[in-house]
Structure 1
């Protein structure tokens, strides 16, 4: 298992980690298989989405704020909205690896989604080689 570290800078942000994942893929020399990307946090997640237009990230975060407003919830830490958003996004994505490359669509990127920052965060990767 590979551990990546991130430092988020805002309460809510989406960080494109595709390059970091590709770098680790090259280091480990996997040619064919699957890459699992897992976020071990309850107020952050990971998703695959548009990587060409930064307005999409802003729109996604705005949409989450509209769906899950920061209102007084019962949880004493005051970050229940972040827990809800993380649950909606999810903690894991999987990406096929073929000929040493991540199989992503033309406009797709892998994003770490922060909902309770700024913080130091971890992302775990696991490459499973096809037999």
Structure 2
């Protein structure tokens, strides 16, 4: 298992972490198995989507802002970050990616992203590669 940190810069930030995860898979020496990517935070998430066109993640962030607005006076949670908790719960805090021949089996355009919804902060990402060497 390995842990790395990502520093976010805005309330909502989406950071491409694919290169970090690929490096951890390589260091593990696992040839065939699975890679688990997990963020141990209730206001952050991890997802896989297109990484070739930055407009895709901009659109995702934009629509999350519209669907789950930060300012909503009906939220009961008293800390004022209910929108961040809801966004994180919907997207999820982990992903499992197959590993074959020592490589992540991501699609041609796919990348792995950390989504920050209550930043700026420093976030931990846990990577666990399980399988055969």
**Residue 77 (structure 1) aligns with:** 79
Q: CA RMSD in A?
A: 1.1
- Structure 1 residues 28 and 130: alpha-carbon distance in aligned structure 2, compared to 1, 3 A threshold: closer
Gaps of 5+ in 2: none
TM-score using structure 1 length = 0.96
1:66-108, Cα deviation, whole Å (9 max, x unpaired): 1101113221211000000000110110000000100000000
Partners of 2:125 and 2:27 in 1: how far apart? Answer: 17
Farther-moved stretch of structure 1 (67-76 vs 82-91): 67-76
1:21-36 to 2 correspondences below 5 Å:
21-36=21-36
Give me the TM-score of the superposition, normalised by structure 2. 0.95
Q: 1:117 aligns with which of 113, 116, 119?
A: 119
Count of residue pairs the alignment pairs up: 131
CA distance in 2, matches of 1:126, 1:25: 8
1:130 deviates by: 3.9
Deviation of the 1:25 alpha carbon? 1.1
Structure 2 SS opposite 1:40: coil
1:127 aligns with 2:129: yes
The aligned counterpart of 1:41 is: 41
Superposed structure 1 runs of 4+ greater than 2 Å apart: none
User: Is 71-80 or 55-64 further displaced after alignment?
Assistant: 71-80
Query: Structure 1 unaligned runs (5+)?
Result: none
